Amino acid sequence: MDWGRKAAGLFLLALFAALLMNDTVQSYLKIPNQITTFETAAEYFKKAEKDEDWKVTDITPSSAAVKAGMLPAKRTEINKIPELRVIPGGQSIGVKLQSKGVMIIGFHDILSDGRRYSPAEEAGLEAGDQIIEMDGEEIKDLEDVVKMVDNKEKNEIKVKVRRKQKVIEKKIPLHSEKDKKVMGAYIRNAASGIGTLSFYEPDEGKFGALGHVIADADTKKPISVDNGKVMKSSVTSIERGSDGKPGEKQASLSRDQEPLGNVTKNTSFGVFGTLSPDKLNEREPMPVAFADEVKTGPAKILTVLEGEKVEAFDIEIVQSMPQMKAASKGMVIKVKDDELMEKTGGIIQGMSGSPIIQNGKIAGAVTHVFVNDSSSGYACHIEWMLEEAGIDTFQEQRNNAAS
């Protein structure tokens, strides 16, 4: 009796193993209960029928019945991720930023009691500190600082500064010099630059540009934006670059022109904000290529070399680094266009932010040039710029689709 049970058990086990090895059963087991994809159900299963030998029937926008051989149909739920499209840029732009508070960019000495020193520096302030408050009064611009210091009856002022993520309070002695009071610091609350528009999202008016942070020219510290403007610029000439000496676009801004839009963020991925749609010569929206879609090989950049004319130039994506989190150096690119090399010597200042197009999709933006090889440089994946702009990239759904 025991032998009979064992024999029956072994037979069933062998039968089960044989079924598992059967191609039809294997194909049936591969039919998913649920899929998340950028494609429609019809697009997805058209390819799946060829790859997996499935028979697909009763396709709806949200599900499909899938058969393998003579086995019963299995219904698969479809979660379609909306296709993300933005308008590629390439236009030359000027950016003007007003910082939050007033930035200390350096110090100057005063002469008192036979010695030279800077009261602000001795009190512990540093270049790059942002003055946000004086004696309890908010500081917004240079005039606020001048008014607070000049009108001070006592020879000391309480100053709050923002240093990185911390707020620090210091007492600074004031020195009388030529009928006015000084604290021995150079200050500034504005910065500007020329670059290239990377993309524009027409539904919400959001944009990204430059591909890198705007920093103060003296302190090299990022400008913390209180408000900023994006202006249309026209390229007037090109200073050609070479190995060891990056070139530069020379561009002009019209003084009386209306701004294209506002800047609200200045980060390591560029400047971001909103644009007025009527101020742009819009092209058609283009699908976005996420980091895992970018391949080594031919691509193009869109940029301006003369006036306001956006042109496409050949490049090669030499390397695309897989990235699980945002980083500004996601690709290595090399200029392959003879005309671009002749006119610019490769990647030059002002080209930062130029969008990269590959296989009909916007894949990234130029960020840096290699100092020792002006034909090559870094670029960032466009998805990180989109996220900085506050555009939903459906990252969670894409992660689910990949898992």
Query: Is residue 326 classed as helix, strand or coil in its secondary structure?
Result: coil
Question: Mind giving me the DSSP string for 180-228?
Answer: EEE-SEEEEEEEEEEEEEEEEETTTTEEEEESS--B-TTT-PBP-EEEE
Residue 144: enclosing H or E segment and its boundaries? helix 142-150
Active site residue 337: yes
22's tokens: 């059967």
Other Cβ atoms closer than 10 A to 3: 7
For the chain, the distance separating the N- and C-terminal CA atoms, rounded to the nearest angstrom, is: 48
Residues 6+ apart with CB under 8 A from 313: 300, 301, 303, 335, 337, 339, 340
Query: Is residue 136 classed as helix, strand or coil in its secondary structure?
Result: coil
**Catalytic annotation, pick one of 337, 354, 376, 381:** 337
- Report which residue type is found at 183: M
CB distance 294 to 320 below 8 Å? yes
**Catalytic annotation, pick one of 27, 212, 354, 381:** 212
Question: Mind giving me the DSSP string for 61-82?
Answer: SSEEEEE-TTSPPEEEEEEEPP
**Catalytic annotation, pick one of 27, 92, 99, 352:** 352
Sort 263 into a burial class: Cβ within 10 Å, 0-12 / 13-18 / 19+: buried
Strand order in the sheet with 34-37: 34-37, 74-80, 63-67, 55-57
Burial of 158-175, coded b for 16+ CB within 10 Å and e otherwise, reads: ebbbbeeeeeeeeebbbb
Active site residue 212: yes
Question: Could you give the angle at the alpha carbon of 166 between the alpha carbons of 161 and 167, nearest 5°?
Answer: 35
Query: Is residue 290 classed as helix, strand or coil in its secondary structure?
Result: coil
Query: Is residue 11 classed as helix, strand or coil in its secondary structure?
Result: helix
Please list the active-site residues.
212, 337, 352
